[in-house]
Structure 1
Amino acid sequence: MDGITAHTMAPELDGLLSGSLVERISMSDKNTIHLALFTTGRIKFNLTLEAGASRPSLILSTDPLPHGLNPPPSFVMLLRKHLRRARITTITTPPWERVFIFTFQSVDELGDEVEGRLLFECMPRTANVVLVNREDVILGALRHIDHRVNRVRETLPAHPYLPPPGQNRPGPIEYAKQGAGKILEELAAVPLNGRVLSQQVAGFSPLLGDEVLARAGIRPSTLQVADSLRTLCLEIAGGQFSPAVYFDGPQGNPIAVHAVKLTHLPWFAPYDFVYEAVAAYSRSVTGIDRFKRKQHAITRRIEEQIKRTQKKRELHEADVATGKEAADDRLIGELILAWIHTIPVGSKGVALDNYHEQGSLLYCPLNPRLTAAENATHYFKSARRKERKLERATSLLQNDLDELAWLESLRAAAGYSETEEDLLAVEHEYLTREGTGKQPARQPSQANRIPGKPASKRRRKEPTRRPTEKKERQAASKQEALPAPRHFRSSDGFLITSGRNNLQNDRLLRKAGRDDLWFHAKNTAGSHVILSTGGREFSPLAIREAAVIAAWYSGSGRAGNAVEVDYCAVRHVKKIPGSRPGKVSYQEYKTLYVKPADPSRLRVSS
């Protein structure tokens, strides 16, 4: 949000909220304040002040207030003391500045009218919410700024409030009144780029600077840029606004919101009011940021588990390599017994004829403090130990490899997740299989906690063993509902279903009909896709679209290259007994080479 957008948004808010009553005040996180307002027209609004350092914003909506922090922070308690049941009288902004000033009128304990102001400084890195009284003395602030942070402008209780430094340049109205010659002279002395142009006019952002260049044409002259800048300032001075949210593609993510029409951004959604556009943009961007944070957190946890499993695999591989030496130790023991009469006492080693390989000698290290028979016994014991180690390590190594394959599939699923439901399914599977922590110890009964009173017979007969961790995880997984699988409809009407995680993949396979088709990207982690027959014969188009979906939701689906996708009838797909979720074997399959594509146009509600 720049000064132009804030300047046009404040009158809209003033017209809507002037006279409204503050019913509730809460904070959903350390940076976000919510005010529930009840207008004179009996409409409930939620005014949200997001004072995050990266993307501060002001959002007005009719959504219910989210759950607040418990216990409420001290600043919330201060706001409730001064603003609860207060009425908003005006909402203003200083000319072309990103500071919203909410003026409130309330009645104190003595019945006297009291005026206060809540200032929302909506600037990145320095965003803040400050409560001041009629004399502009600070009563409290969301962030306290002392001289160690800012020597010029302290924001502390009982200190006078100082507004942010001004921009020291003319606003759009004053700039447009300048003569064309003066504007041309100023621009001739600076490089013509969006950031420099935004520094000529108060309230401008680099986005408007880019708009000035776009309107000036390709490779514009200084005269064309000056004319474009003056024309844009005249539009703003005349109130010619077209609020809209702008996107990076036809179905892309939001990249900007502005009150001025931005002709250099072709994809946009228009709105009637600036506050509506800002609210829609902020909700979308906040949702995207929240999704990315959760995706990063889940991926990091999975990758940490992958690192731990890789270390275990390396240890077990070393144990397997050691265990394979058992045959050599057994052979040495047998040779010592076979040639025991030729081995001198106290020898440190001897070369013995290896009767398994004609004409070859095998050097056998010996312990000189032991007899030949004792050395043979030592080698036989070592062989048995290594055989046991080999047996255990081989089993554990296979478990490690299976776990790594499963974790890689989860990492891939988190990587190609598109919604929070996808991430919830991945997180559910990870927590279900890994467990969420140590189980609490069993608490003794009340009878056992009373000194001198013996336990009852029923208590003595209770089993002392707790349920195993595996059974507890299975019980938890049954109680926790999974999000529904992804559903698609092919261009000719066939139902296509895709699992969000390995547990859903197994469930889809169990519920699929024998004649349905099963799809999976070849030699990579990915979603299992089921193409349901619906009593009809499959069309080549439906098969290809199902293969494209399987390629899109695979580990290599977003690289842009063609992906091999195997498919076969469900009756030829078998779940491997005792294997991890999503592990199957299949036969009598065919392979398609398809280019992954976003299947959003085929998506249907679950």
Structure 2
Amino acid sequence: MAFDGLFIHSLLKDLSPTLIGGRLSKIYQPFEQDLVLVFRKDRKNYPLLISANAQYPRMYLTDQSISNPDKAPTFVMVLRKYLEGSVLQSIEQVGLDRIINFHFSNRNELGDQVKLVLSVELMGRHSNVILYNQQDNHIIDLLKRINPDENRARILLPKAKYELPPLKPGLNGLTMTEDEFNEEKAQNSDAASLVKKMSGLDRDDRQELIGYLEDEYSYDTFSTFFKQFENPKGFVLKTPRNKRKIFPYLPYHLELEKESSDPDLNHALDEFYQYQATRDWVKQRAGRVERVVKNEQKKLSKKIVKLKKQLDLAENSEGYRIRGEILNAHLNEVKPGMSKISLPNYYENNAPIEIKLDPALSPARNAQKYFTRYKKLRDSIKHVNEQIKIAEENLAYFDSIQTAIDNADPQDIDQINDELENQGYIRKPKKNVRRKKITERNLNKFKLSSGKTVLVGKNNYQNDWLTLKKANKTDYWFHVKNMPGSHVILRDDNPSDDDIREAAEIAAFFSKGKLSAHVQVDYVQDKRVKKPNGAKPGFVIYTGQNSIEVTPEEKEVLSKKID
């Protein structure tokens, strides 16, 4: 189910007692559509993630380490001015709609008490976060400023008066009494008709409630369904097409398979959205880099096709030499002004061959033209082969960049951007930005069943640092065969067969072949891995390797990951 009204009601059962009375100590906006509010209470920090992402708007306490950008956006600066250090007085949901109001108490510059509301609207593409003054209802600022011609229902700009969005009226099942239920039942003999009038339910909730009432159309059954939202837990289920969904209760009437359960709904939400959120944040940060990569891949692919056509033409250039020789043998038969002539081809049992002519040239010059064309094409073969090799190497390089983006965490994108700047594919900024040095903390780290450690680079700079500087010469190095992937180091000089297989599965997962059933992985001691002079980042050569074929399983690989 999505973040509908009932889900938000369940979530606030956990959130409210945890956050109310807490002091808002930090505010930052790590990504365009996402805010993190850090509340301090009872000597503990509680980071609240609020996302106005159009596809999956959400809100929950998170354990994820989300970096604070160096430069704060305007909205964050406003929030810090008005809310930082203020106390959260209450959290309330507007009916069973997807609007949550955080009520804060703070003092202005004159020392007067000010009541402020941070309204979180989790409403699909209309999602927003709005700060307004409770006394006069005027908007101070908001995450998404909307021009009046884009939203005629209300004005969403600073200084405008805050108004609720148009809300669809409905019945509140959480507060409905038995008499009210019986009255509605009398008017709606069909359970589906009653459910249609309920507020705060998404499609899954409606189907589940209909299932309950079809079993027994009674107030007891009705209230049993809604009581589940008063004591929520986190249940992750899968559809027949393997789409994952999260619920605050365990549905019985939907075609879903239970994957996991968690007594803490916030924790379940954090884990449920972790992968998708990371991919979304990477996409936001990597937008510029990905455009460069895709443009270069497109240009290089077209160039390779064109060069291979040239090579094919050059390798099949014997026809030009043959036409030149036949013309030389029959110069007396060529008359001035002719545009073509048919002559016997003594290479093909004197079968006729048609030869095009330039009417402005003499017979001898026409023959020489064919010999010149033949020589030019034959001489170009070496050059074209070299150009194809360079283009294919560059294409493989950009494939490795794309693989790095696919495996990246948001904080890794800066290093990928730096790499493309240093390679001349992205213009460097005028001001020199000091980047952090690569350390082991930047890498992905895994612990094998035997307890041995595996380190994984997530981009070409990390790969070079891991293989050429961090690894011991006796450690074992892993890499997928003939495709882009991460450099993987097994910190051991005498690994067992199980160690090798597990490390190879990790290398296969962090590669372009992660979705393949059979992935070939090379492995060799690190001392046999060398970097050629002038090679691009991430490119190495190695000798004396062994190979193993593995099938990377996401769950099995990620279960070995350590923070």
Q: Structure 1 length normalisation: TM-score?
A: 0.67
Amino acid corresponding to residue 125 of structure 1 in structure 2: R
Q: Which runs of 5+ in 1 are unaligned?
A: 442-475
Amino acid corresponding to residue 223 of structure 1 in structure 2: E
Task: Determine the structure 2 residue equivalent to 1:125.
Answer: 125
Structure label with greater radius of gyration: 1
Aligned length: 546
The answer on 1:558 being equivalent to 2:521 is no
Residues 393-416 of structure 1: per-residue CA shift (max 9 Å, x gap): 23212333444455456556666x
Amino acid corresponding to residue 226 of structure 2 in structure 1: C
1:314 to 295, 305, 322: 305
Residues 255-296 of structure 1: per-residue CA shift (max 9 Å, x gap): 4363x566775512222xx66666666666533432466688
The answer on 1:597 being equivalent to 2:556 is no
Task: Determine the structure 2 residue equivalent to 1:290.
Answer: 281
Q: Is 1:89–1:103's contact at 8 Å kept on the other side of the alignment?
A: yes
Using the alignment, how far apart are the partners of 2:175 and 2:339 within structure 1? 101
Task: Determine the structure 2 residue equivalent to 1:447.
Answer: none
1:120-519 → structure 2 map (5 Å cutoff) = 120-128=120-128, 129-143=130-144, 148-149=149-150, 151-155=152-156, 160-165=161-166, 168-178=169-179, 181-182=182-183, 185=186, 188-191=189-192, 197=195, 199-209=196-206, 212=209, 216=212, 221-223=214-216, 227-234=220-227, 240-244=230-234, 246=236, 255-256=245-246, 258=248, 265=258, 267-271=260-264, 286-291=277-282, 301-324=292-315, 327-337=318-328, 340=331, 348=339, 364-408=355-399, 411=402, 417=407, 420=409, 427=416, 431=420, 435-437=424-426, 491=449, 504=463, 508=467
Q: Is 2:282–2:410's contact at 8 Å kept on the other side of the alignment?
A: no
Amino acid corresponding to residue 162 of structure 1 in structure 2: E
| Residue aligned with 2:223, SS | helix
Using the alignment, how far apart are the partners of 1:137 and 1:576 within structure 2? 62
Task: Determine the structure 2 residue equivalent to 1:3.
Answer: 5
| Residue aligned with 1:101, SS | strand
Task: Determine the structure 1 residue equivalent to 2:96.
Answer: 96
Using the alignment, how far apart are the partners of 2:355 and 2:445 within structure 1? 68
Residues 339-370 of structure 1: per-residue CA shift (max 9 Å, x gap): 55665555555566667677566555444443
Using the alignment, how far apart are the partners of 1:85 and 1:528 within structure 2? 45
Using the alignment, how far apart are the partners of 1:568 and 1:481 within structure 2? 23
RMSD between aligned alpha carbons?
5.4
| Residue aligned with 1:162, SS | coil
Change in Cα spacing, 1:96 to 1:247, as seen in structure 2 (3 Å) is: same
Amino acid corresponding to residue 131 of structure 1 in structure 2: Y
Q: Is 1:102–1:119's contact at 8 Å kept on the other side of the alignment?
A: yes
Using the alignment, how far apart are the partners of 2:353 and 2:149 within structure 1? 78
Amino acid corresponding to residue 557 of structure 2 in structure 1: S
State the shift of 1:310 in Å: 1.9
Using the alignment, how far apart are the partners of 1:22 and 1:553 within structure 2? 39
430-439 or 115-124: bigger deviation: 430-439
Residues 505-556 of structure 1: per-residue CA shift (max 9 Å, x gap): 99759978799696745x76656777787347x54x4555455555545545
Change in Cα spacing, 1:526 to 1:175, as seen in structure 2 (3 Å) is: same
The answer on 1:534 being equivalent to 2:493 is yes
State the shift of 1:438 in Å: 5.3
Using the alignment, how far apart are the partners of 2:80 and 2:447 within structure 1? 52
Q: Is 2:174–2:226's contact at 8 Å kept on the other side of the alignment?
A: yes
| Residue aligned with 1:100, SS | strand
Residues 123-182 of structure 1: per-residue CA shift (max 9 Å, x gap): 333333140341435555444567645555445566554334555434334324337755
Amino acid corresponding to residue 316 of structure 1 in structure 2: L
Using the alignment, how far apart are the partners of 1:428 and 1:338 within structure 2? 63
Using the alignment, how far apart are the partners of 1:65 and 1:425 within structure 2? 15
Residues 477-532 of structure 1: per-residue CA shift (max 9 Å, x gap): 997679877665654567767665678499759978799696745x7665677778
Change in Cα spacing, 1:247 to 1:363, as seen in structure 2 (3 Å) is: closer
Using the alignment, how far apart are the partners of 1:37 and 1:587 within structure 2? 56
Amino acid corresponding to residue 234 of structure 2 in structure 1: A
Q: Which runs of 5+ in 2 are unaligned?
A: none
State the shift of 1:428 in Å: 7.0
Q: Is 2:278–2:409's contact at 8 Å kept on the other side of the alignment?
A: no
State the shift of 1:574 in Å: 8.8
Using the alignment, how far apart are the partners of 1:588 and 1:71 within structure 2? 49
Using the alignment, how far apart are the partners of 1:498 and 1:566 within structure 2? 14
| Residue aligned with 2:281, SS | helix
| Residue aligned with 1:120, SS | strand
State the shift of 1:188 in Å: 4.0
Residues 228-273 of structure 1: per-residue CA shift (max 9 Å, x gap): 322133565xxx5144364659xx9974363x566775512222xx
Amino acid corresponding to residue 597 of structure 1 in structure 2: E
Using the alignment, how far apart are the partners of 2:83 and 2:459 within structure 1? 48
Using the alignment, how far apart are the partners of 2:546 and 2:220 within structure 1? 67
Using the alignment, how far apart are the partners of 2:173 and 2:304 within structure 1? 66
Q: Is 1:548–1:595's contact at 8 Å kept on the other side of the alignment?
A: yes
Amino acid corresponding to residue 387 of structure 2 in structure 1: L
Task: Determine the structure 2 residue equivalent to 1:445.
Answer: none
Q: Is 1:489–1:602's contact at 8 Å kept on the other side of the alignment?
A: no
Amino acid corresponding to residue 5 of structure 2 in structure 1: G
Identity of matched residues, %: 21
Using the alignment, how far apart are the partners of 1:573 and 1:155 within structure 2? 62
Change in Cα spacing, 1:488 to 1:176, as seen in structure 2 (3 Å) is: same
Q: Is 2:454–2:491's contact at 8 Å kept on the other side of the alignment?
A: yes
Amino acid corresponding to residue 398 of structure 1 in structure 2: K
Change in Cα spacing, 1:529 to 1:342, as seen in structure 2 (3 Å) is: same
Change in Cα spacing, 1:67 to 1:204, as seen in structure 2 (3 Å) is: same
Change in Cα spacing, 1:346 to 1:428, as seen in structure 2 (3 Å) is: same
Amino acid corresponding to residue 420 of structure 1 in structure 2: D
Using the alignment, how far apart are the partners of 2:81 and 2:506 within structure 1? 56
Amino acid corresponding to residue 56 of structure 2 in structure 1: R
